[in-house]
Chains A and B, each alone.
Chain A
Amino acid sequence: MIKKIAKDEWASGLSKLAKTYRLFGPVAERGPDGARTFHNFKALAPGELPDLDLGNTRLSAKSLVFPQSEAMFTYTLDEDRDDHHILKEVPADGMSRVAFGIRPCDAKALAMVRMNFDTPEYKDPYWLRLYEATTFVGLACDAPCPTCFCTSTECGPYHEEGLDLLLCAEGEGLLAKAITEKGERLLADAGWEEAADQDLGARKAAAEGCITSRIGTDQLAEGDLLDLHGADFWEDVAFACINCGTCTYLCPTCWCFDIQDEVFKQEGQRLRQWDSCMFPIFTVHTTGHNPRDTKTQRVRQRFMHKLKYFVDKYEKGIMCVGCGRCVRHCPVNIDIRKVADLMNRYTSDAAKAEQA
């Protein structure tokens, strides 16, 4: 069921929602001259509207459920206190949230990353609490970036996986398609109830047609893991890499993290923060031995994890949604599309050689 949201209803609906939800959305950063530079997800100030006039946010939406730095526990080292040296959980924020303007690629990425944090054996309470507390309001892409390749990653500009509601621009206003019950509830809570006699099919097809960048991934599952690991192209792929970690920080499907203790005077907290497989310290042992000591090993780890290990482990395709952020922002122009093609072709070449 598609609803129509007129421009003035948008603002009034948001102020209604602000009473019961914490609202998040893309907010433009501003340069020294006051001009808008790029967007990131932020908590919306009272009365502030999410800025939906954007390509995509610079950082992915992952920080909405997986903050870059997050307190897990607090404790005191003060031995005069009865509970010294005993970790206490940081109280969870129980309030419901809405994330507006999340692109379908980022929503799919979160649904995929859930497989890491929500397992039969262990549940990550921090990630899951925020994920479950959030209603994800997507924004369809009618004008994708030239670096987007989401149609080759089982995603797309109108993909609905991981979303509760999908918005797309319609004149001055918006169209809204509820995907889940959570999404329907949000429409009702905001008072956006005017039915639109429309179907998004044609718009979806047009948007998908705008995406011209593609990668091949069909051979990756077939290939031998150790053959790919030992392929001859990794030195070339990694040659220009400076291990800055930008790709991993921007990536919506990168989830690796570190746990650190911070103490001020006698009061401490245990924090978790984003980490990156690009950094040598990520894997170094206390002895000084480092299993991934060279940058080539680290670059290979990133691509092998996304395009082979994940594929083999979950059998749900590659760990990439085609958002193109790493392609746009890599300072030395390493392009995951080219690496995916190298890996895919290497695998099919190997298969051909075997048959011959």
Chain B
Amino acid sequence: MENPYLPYPVRIDEIIVETEDRNLKTFTFVFLNPEDEERFAYQAGQFAELSIPGKGEIPIGIASSPVEKGFVKFTVNKAGVVTQHLHNMKVGDIMGIRGPLGNWYPWEGLEGKDLLIIGGGFAFTTLRSSIIYMLDPANRAKFGNIDVVYGARTPGMLLYKEELIEWEKRDDINMHITVDGTDDPDWKYNVGFVPPIVEQKAPQADNGTYAIVCGPPIMIKFTQPVLEKLGYDHNHIIMSLENRMKCGIGMCGRCGIGKELVCKDGPVFTLAEINKTPREY
């Protein structure tokens, strides 16, 4: 019997400090057994349990993209027991990854549609995975217009800055990068919170437009009315939830929101689906 609690052993291959407060690092992992990479085949929007023997496990969205091969990447905020330990680990250290877990953004249904991607703070990891996936030459033609609104507190708090600048230069994706505030005179992008930037820059919705929203609760709270104003139906607003998790496979019981389990039935839900739950997240 296959043991769904057994992580794949991995080696830390690279560690990048992402933000100026040094609280976010991106870890690149390589599978110790090359055949495990095949078993870990994932879709943009899924997560995995990063598993550190002696410390425990932590559910983190997969930041690398299914079209990137040979490694997997996770961007981790330093917060609790496991992530603090992870931040002190070094290249070459051995740990585990268990997954991929949960559902993903509904890629099949999104083909042929225009997409508005809204991210805030460090909730941009599975959105990075998604953007890389859609911009891949084999996939770009499958999607319509892509608009991205991504905001952080300051320029130094944006994730994946080099890639953001690359995407800014492309004409097949409309980037709307913003920061809450900055004293950098060379900042040439937007200044303002995510919801008003969405209101100014995002396209009006029609039947063929979907929004994917990931961010802190306060951003989501104020973005929802803006999306409604722009005509986005609750069935067309796609979100990724977080809850405390242990098993990641729908068994341990703690991440339930009504009859739905965030780890297995989610983490991706439409707002229409979330409206039917007691919203205990």
Bind each other: yes
| Contact surface of A with B, Cβ cutoff 8 Å | 72-73, 75, 77, 84-87, 89, 116-117, 119, 121-125, 128-129, 225-226, 229, 255-261, 263, 268, 270, 275, 277, 282-287, 291-292, 297, 301, 304-305, 308-310, 312-313
B280, A297: Cβ atoms closer than 8 Å: yes
**Bound complex: CA A255 to CA B247 (Å):** 13
Residues of A within 8 A of B244 (CB): 282-285
A309, B259: Cβ atoms closer than 8 Å: yes
**Bound complex: CA A186 to CA B45 (Å):** 50
Query: From B9, which residue of chain A is reached at the shortest CB distance?
Result: A86
B258, A285: Cβ atoms closer than 8 Å: no
Q: Write out, one digit per residue, whether chain B residues 35-56 have a CB within 8 A of any chain A CB (1) or not (0).
A: 0000000000000000101111
Q: Dominant SS at the A interface?
A: mixed
A305, B4: Cβ atoms closer than 8 Å: no
Closest beta carbon of chain B to A125's beta carbon, Å: 4
**Bound complex: CA A128 to CA B1 (Å):** 9
Task: State how many residues of chain B have any CB contact under 8 Å with chain A.
Answer: 43
Residues of B within 8 A of A122 (CB): 4, 249-251
Residues of B within 8 A of A263 (CB): 54
Query: From B80, which residue of chain A is reached at the shortest CB distance?
Result: A286
B54, A77: Cβ atoms closer than 8 Å: yes
Q: Point out the residue from A277, A291, A308 that lies within 8 Å of B281, measured CB to CB.
A: A291
Q: Point out the residue from B56, B247, B250, B264 that lies within 8 Å of A261, measured CB to CB.
A: B56
Q: Point out the residue from A72, A87, A258, A305 that lies within 8 Å of B252, measured CB to CB.
A: A258
For the A-B complex, the count of residue pairs with Cβ-Cβ distances under 8 Å equals 123
B246, A258: Cβ atoms closer than 8 Å: yes
A87, B79: Cβ atoms closer than 8 Å: no
B252, A257: Cβ atoms closer than 8 Å: yes
What are 5 of the A-B contact pairs (CB < 8 Å)? A258-B246, A270-B5, A284-B244, A304-B278, A313-B259
A121, B280: Cβ atoms closer than 8 Å: no
Residues of A within 8 A of B264 (CB): 121
Given A256-B254, A257-B246, check contact A89 B3 (CB 8 Å).
yes
A229, B258: Cβ atoms closer than 8 Å: yes
Closest beta carbon of chain B to A292's beta carbon, Å: 6
Query: From B217, which residue of chain A is reached at the shortest CB distance?
Result: A289
Q: Does B6 contact A (CB under 8 A)?
A: yes
**Bound complex: CA A259 to CA B243 (Å):** 16
A309, B258: Cβ atoms closer than 8 Å: yes
Residues of A within 8 A of B251 (CB): 116-117, 122, 124, 255, 257
